């Protein structure tokens, strides 16, 4: 039996021990923050584990609720919207050919092989069409009709073959969503994704015909990315509501192809790689925009970065970030 005076001493010591533990955690978090801001021009870093926000740090006047251009992270958003549209019956499924969505284009330019490209081919960047990204991006967005330009690219691979990263492919998905649902992509997102998550989106570019750009130039806040990542990691559930079908999340995170330019696997608009024995699933935008999930550690990370870096500097920052995640962040979380 514990003496009464000893039990009292233990009870009195608990608050002090809790205070020490809290201080230790604060010091650990501060060290992580200091290191992450050395990776590159990061202006916002949010880390949530098991629903608890462990780290929130900002630079350059950024805030967690301030919207910023998430660049190609938007491709992962488009993927979620396609899953919702399929679940609602607006689309027949990922094997549905795209030819029927562009009758005017293919009536004047019949091409059975291009018409047979499927929604899944667009989601996985395996449409076979020459890329409209990287050095081709400027010519594409300066064209009078982005849809015709994207569909007019030559087939340099068979549909369903090798990965050819192209924002034109994800833009075709946005156009398909609009034509299938009778709503703009933004209206559909606000009603069925952003709205249920309590997210307010900022700016979002449109093409010359008024279709919202599928896969770039969408503005969301770091806290919005954290909510989306939490929902995805919880298999489509947020606040006990099924926002995106569970089966779609599982299907989206499968590996269908692999980039020729980096050591990452690719699903339906989502990247994946192994770091320090853990699977990291992520959405990635140019210049250092990330929504990362480490399911085994119940962790979601949102990162927003400033611009002004060259392609070489961007690649170097990306390498430093993944080295930081593998060699520092995962150790902090374990």
Three-class secondary structure of residue 302 per DSSP: strand
Residue-level pLDDT at 16 = 56
Has residue 213 been placed in a domain?
Answer: yes
- CATH assignment of the domain containing 328: 3.40.710.10
Which residues face 206 on adjacent strands?
212
Has residue 20 been placed in a domain?
Answer: no
Has residue 148 been placed in a domain?
Answer: yes
| Average pLDDT over all residues of the chain | 94
Has residue 194 been placed in a domain?
Answer: yes
Has residue 172 been placed in a domain?
Answer: yes
DSSP assignment of 103-152 equals HHHHHHS--HHHHT-BHHHHHTT-S-BPP-SGGGHHHHHTSS-HHHHHHT
What is the arithmetic mean of pLDDT over 159-188?
98
Residue-level pLDDT at 4 = 63
Long-range contacts of 318-324 (CB under 8 A, 24+ apart): 318/40, 318/262, 318/288, 320/38, 320/39, 320/40, 321/39, 321/40, 321/288, 321/290, 322/273, 322/275, 324/35, 324/36, 324/39
Q: Are 244 and 91 a contacting pair, CB within 8 Å?
A: no
CB atoms within 10 A of CB 165: 19
Residue-level pLDDT at 324 = 96
Sign of the Cα pseudo-torsion (188, 164, 234, 84, in order): positive
CB atoms within 10 A of CB 15: 9
Cα gap 4→272, rounded to integer Å:
56
pLDDT tens-digit readout, 276-309: 999 999 999 999 999 999 999 999 999 999 977 8
Angle subtended by helix axes 222-233 and 73-87, to nearest 10: 50
Residue 77, pLDDT above cutoff 70: yes
Q: Cα 165–169–171 angle (5° rounding)? A: 125
Residue-level pLDDT at 18 = 59
Q: Are 168 and 130 a contacting pair, CB within 8 Å?
A: no
Residue-level pLDDT at 11 = 53
Has residue 138 been placed in a domain?
Answer: yes
pLDDT tens-digit readout, 312-333: 999 999 999 999 999 999 999 9
Q: Which domain holds residue 286?
A: 40-333
Has residue 287 been placed in a domain?
Answer: yes
Has residue 304 been placed in a domain?
Answer: yes
- Least confident range from 11-25, 217-231, 290-304: namely 11-25
Give the number of domains in the chain: 1
């Amino acid at each position: 039996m514990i003496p009464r005076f000893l039990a009292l001493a233990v009870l009195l010591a608990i608050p002090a021990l809790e205070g020490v533990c809290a201080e230790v955690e604060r010091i650990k978090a501060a060290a992580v923050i200091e290191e992450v801001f050395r990776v590159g021009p990061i202006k916002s870093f949010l880390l949530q584990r098991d629903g608890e926000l462990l780290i929130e740090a900002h630079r350059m006047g950024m805030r967690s609720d301030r919207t910023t251009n998430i660049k190609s992270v938007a491709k992962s958003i488009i993927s979620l919207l396609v899953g919702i549209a399929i679940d609602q019956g607006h689309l027949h499924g990922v094997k549905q050919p795209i030819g029927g969505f562009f009758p005017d284009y293919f009536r004047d330019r019949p091409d059975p092989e291009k018409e047979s490209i499927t929604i899944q081919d667009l989601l996985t960047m395996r449409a076979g069409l020459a890329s409209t990204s990287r050095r081709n991006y400027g010519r594409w967005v300066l064209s009078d009709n982005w849809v015709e330009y994207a569909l007019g690219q030559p087939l340099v691979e068979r549909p369903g073959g090798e990965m050819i990263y192209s924002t034109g492919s994800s833009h075709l998905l946005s156009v398909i969503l609009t034509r299938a649902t009778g709503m703009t992509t933004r209206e559909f997102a606000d009603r069925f994704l952003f709205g249920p998550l309590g997210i307010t989106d900022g700016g979002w570019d449109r093409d010359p015909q008024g279709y919202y750009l599928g896969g770039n130039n969408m503005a969301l806040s770091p806290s919005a990315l954290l909510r989306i990542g939490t929902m995805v990691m919880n298999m489509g559930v947020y606040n006990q509501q099924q926002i995106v079908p569970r089966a779609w999340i599982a299907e989206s995170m499968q590996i269908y192809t692999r980039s020729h330019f980096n050591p990452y696997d690719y699903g339906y608009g989502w990247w994946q790689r192994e770091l320090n024995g853990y699977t990291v699933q992520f959405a990635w935008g140019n210049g250092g925009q990330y929504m990362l999930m480490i399911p085994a550690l119940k962790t979601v990370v949102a990162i927003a970065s400033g611009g002004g870096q060259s392609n070489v500097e961007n690649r170097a920052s990306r390498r430093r970030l993944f080295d930081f995640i593998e060699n520092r962040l995962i150790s902090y979380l374990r």
